Amino acid sequence: MNTPTAYFEGLARWKPLEIVFWLVLVGLFFVPGVNLPLLSQIIIWGLFAMSLDLLLGYRGILTMGHAAFFGIGAYTAGYLGKFGWTEPISALFLAAAIAAAVGLLAGRLVRSLGGIALLMVTLGLNLILYDFVLRSTELTGGDDGLQGVVIGQVLGMFKFDLYGKTAYLYSLAVAFLMFLIARALVKSSFGLALLGARENIPRMIMLGAPVGKDVSAAFAIAAAMAGVAGALLTQTIQSVSPDALSFQRSADVLVILILGGTARLYGGFVGAFVFLFLRDWLAQLNPVYWYFWIGLLLVVVVAFFRKGIVPSLGVLFTRMQKKRGTDERTPNRAAL
Amino acid sequence: MSDIVLETRDLRKAFGGLVVFDRLNFTLARGERHAIIGPNGAGKSTFVSLVTGLLQPTAGEIVFNGKVVNGQTPQERVKAGLVRTFQINTLFASLNPLESVALALLEREGRAKPSLAKVARESALLDEAEALLAKFGLAGELLTPTNMLAYGMQRLLEVVMAFAMRPQVLLLDEPAAGLSTHQGHELFAQLATLTAGTTVLFIEHDMNLVFRYAERVSVFAAGGMVMQDIPEKVRGDARVREVYLGA
Ligand SMILES: Nc1ncnc2c1ncn2[C@@H]1O[C@H](COP(=O)(O)OP(=O)(O)O)[C@@H](O)[C@H]1O
Ligand SMILES: [Mg+2]
């Protein structure tokens, strides 16, 4: 390190592995016979998990209700499509805005809570919303979800096709844009403050930091991104059901993020790959018991990799670099 | 007496039935180096928490620069110049000293609000962080994660984090806690030069350090403050010998 500025520049610089990661996602599109609908699902789950990472990984807020925001985005896109607003990109913006507004409120509500109380309140809010959607059959179609959702062409040019080609590229492009925003955010001074608050609240208070306000902000941003993920799901499968905001989804996204590793941004995407590929594969082998294997996988990963897949690979990678005699000071946080 | 920067008026703090102190009238003169001594459990740390707003008093007033600050949040008091360190390290375990102090300065300047601008844009503040760490002898440890720092370095970082806020009154809660006698003396020698010009209130058990560095001393004992005076008077006081010096 020459100067402190150079050090922070280094933290924010794109690593080769990052570029490879996104190129691979683009490349998968061209692989013959590839399961594009599954890949779209993975991208959407990955984006969803990344939004949770902002809260859990970077700010240290454990929420059990994150699907609420996903669902709000999904239903926003659904209603728009049902009532004639078929243009998908503007619908994403609206979904993000509404989810962000609800996120801001939720953040205000829970920001003074911690630990078990926080867990219970976020779970409670999720359950209330789910139950409301399920019961308001007139409004939401209840169990069946919204009928007659129509989604127009992307940019007025690309129709959502049967093979899921448009869906995949569209999801990938949106997820990448969201990733760019999230990445800039965590590399900003605000991102550093999130880490500070995750590590030590009394210290942040003694730095005069507005602890609490940052929770609302983090919730709003994470909710907006979750909302975009939800809207993407609605748009790519052209329907929406209460599944979108079920507690099961809140639990699954947590599993995905922890599998992949927190505070890495990529953890959610990698976790989604593993989780959904396995689910797909296991569901073919035995459609009933696949959660058993997911559970087992979670136990194994947490027992042997502790911090999840991406951080563990990161440590391995730095060790290899060290053996080759390169700079040993590379903080493992920046490995990927 | 000279200009008073901080005082408490009939301050009372009780935890349930436990009255830590009652009718505590404490004064701190601007520019002085003031020590609080007293046995464990006397309420020294509690006093610092009350002054900085981390705890609320049961009764009484806290006056800073002539203004009652009871209603202010700890953050408002920090901005006004009232900053403490902690007896037990209160640091960012996974961040390194450079990141920690950079964050302190960013918060001091109100520049950590949501944005997409890189930390690296804040060159001036980052250079200040480096200079500050260098001044405290931590130049060699800028990038060592805090939880890997030697314990003495962590104690030092604890002070740097508070000092970075440009306090008017710096409250040091046992800065030498856990250090060897030798390390403690080194730390105090360092602090005496680095904090020259700042009003410093410190809690310390080592009487050699107290009598060497304090210009005034307050003696706390169970139930309240026994006396507040210059070191020579405190050393000779019978009550102090009884409650604290144990002779
Ligand atoms: N948060 C708290 N709740 C209840 N009792 C407390 C709390 N903090 C401190 N005490 C009690 O108040 C007394 C003073 O504690 P403290 O201020 O830490 O003493 P000192 O710093 O002088 O050793 C002790 O008896 C301690 O047990
Ligand atoms: Mg104490």
Domain end residue (candidates: B150, B166, B182): B166
**Rounded mean pLDDT of B209-216?**
94
* B159 and B182 part of one domain: no
> Does the C-beta of B40 come closer than 6 Å to ligand 1?
yes
pLDDT in tens, A255-305: 999 999 999 999 999 999 999 998 888 888 877 777 788 888 888 887 887
What's the pLDDT band for A332 if we cut at 50, 70, 90?
very low
* B75 and B187 part of one domain: yes
* Average pLDDT score, chain B: 93
| C-alpha dihedral (A77, A81, A82, A85), degrees to nearest 10 | 120
* B175 and B220 part of one domain: yes
* B155 and B192 part of one domain: no
| Contacts with A, B 115-174, CB within 8 Å | 115-120, 122-123, 126-127, 129-130, 142-143, 145, 161-162, 165
Strand partners, A146: A240
Nearest-angstrom CA–CA distance, B199 and B162: 13
Minimum-distance ligand 1 atom for the alpha carbon of B42: 22
Residues B46/B89, Cβ–Cβ less than 8 Å: no
* B39 and B149 part of one domain: no
* B150 and B226 part of one domain: no
Strand partners, B36: B203, B218
What's the pLDDT band for A188 if we cut at 50, 70, 90?
very high
- Distance to chain A for B41, nearest Cα, Å: 21
* B161 and B175 part of one domain: no
* B121 and B181 part of one domain: no
Residues A272/A232, Cβ–Cβ less than 8 Å: no
Domain end residue (candidates: B122, B147, B166): B166
Decide if pLDDT at B2 tops 90.
Answer: no
> Does the C-beta of B20 come closer than 6 Å to ligand 1?
yes
* B57 and B113 part of one domain: no
What angle do helix axes A36-53 and A247-260 make, rounded to 10 degrees? Answer: 80
> Does the C-beta of B44 come closer than 6 Å to ligand 1?
yes
Nearest-angstrom CA–CA distance, B121 and A8: 9
Which CATH number fits the domain that encloses residue B15?
A: 3.40.50.300
What's the pLDDT band for A329 if we cut at 50, 70, 90?
very low
User: How far does CA A270 lie from the centroid of its chain?
Assistant: 11
Nearest-angstrom CA–CA distance, B189 and B176: 11
pLDDT in tens, B39-64: 999 999 999 999 999 999 999 999 99
Q: DSSP letter for A14, please.
A: P
B104 contact A CB<8A = yes
Mutate to test the interface with B, among A188, A213, A214, A225 (most CBs of B within 10 A): A188
What's the pLDDT band for B84 if we cut at 50, 70, 90?
very high
| Nearest residue of B to residue A183, measured between CA atoms | B116
pLDDT of residue B1: 47
CA atoms within 13 A on the CB side of A116: 0
Phi, psi of B216 (to 5 degrees): -140, 160
Domain end residue (candidates: B105, B131, B166): B166
> At B203, which helix (H) or strand (E)?
strand B199-203
**Rounded mean pLDDT of A138-159?**
88
- Distance to chain B for A30, nearest Cα, Å: 33
pLDDT in tens, A5-64: 999 999 999 999 999 999 999 999 999 999 999 999 999 999 999 999 999 999 999 999
> How many domains, in total, are found in chain B?
2
What's the pLDDT band for A248 if we cut at 50, 70, 90?
very high
3 state SS of A38: helix
Nearest-angstrom CA–CA distance, B69 and B76: 9
ipTM: 0.94
Decide if pLDDT at A112 tops 90.
Answer: no
* B77 and B177 part of one domain: yes
Nearest-angstrom CA–CA distance, A86 and A96: 16
Nearest-angstrom CA–CA distance, B131 and B152: 19
* B53 and B172 part of one domain: yes
B102 contact A CB<8A = yes
- Any residues with CB less than 8 A from the CB of B81 and at least 6 apart, and which? B64, B166, B167, B168, B169
Domain with B107, as residue range(s), is: 90-166
Residue type, B141: E
* B14 and B136 part of one domain: no
Which residue has tokens 């599109």?
Answer: A29
DSSP string across A231-252? HHHHHHHT-B-GGGG-HHHHHH
* Average pLDDT score, chain A: 91
> At A276, which helix (H) or strand (E)?
helix A267-285
What's the pLDDT band for A306 if we cut at 50, 70, 90?
confident
Nearest-angstrom CA–CA distance, A179 and A175: 6
What's the pLDDT band for A1 if we cut at 50, 70, 90?
low
- Any residues with CB less than 8 A from the CB of B227 and at least 6 apart, and which? B218, B219, B233, B234, B237, B239, B240
pTM of the model: 0.92
Structural tokens at position B70? 């009871």
pLDDT in tens, A266-279: 999 999 999 999 88
Decide if pLDDT at A330 tops 80.
Answer: no
Q: DSSP letter for B91, please.
A: -
Q: Which of B87, B96, B81 is nearest to B163 (CA)?
A: B81
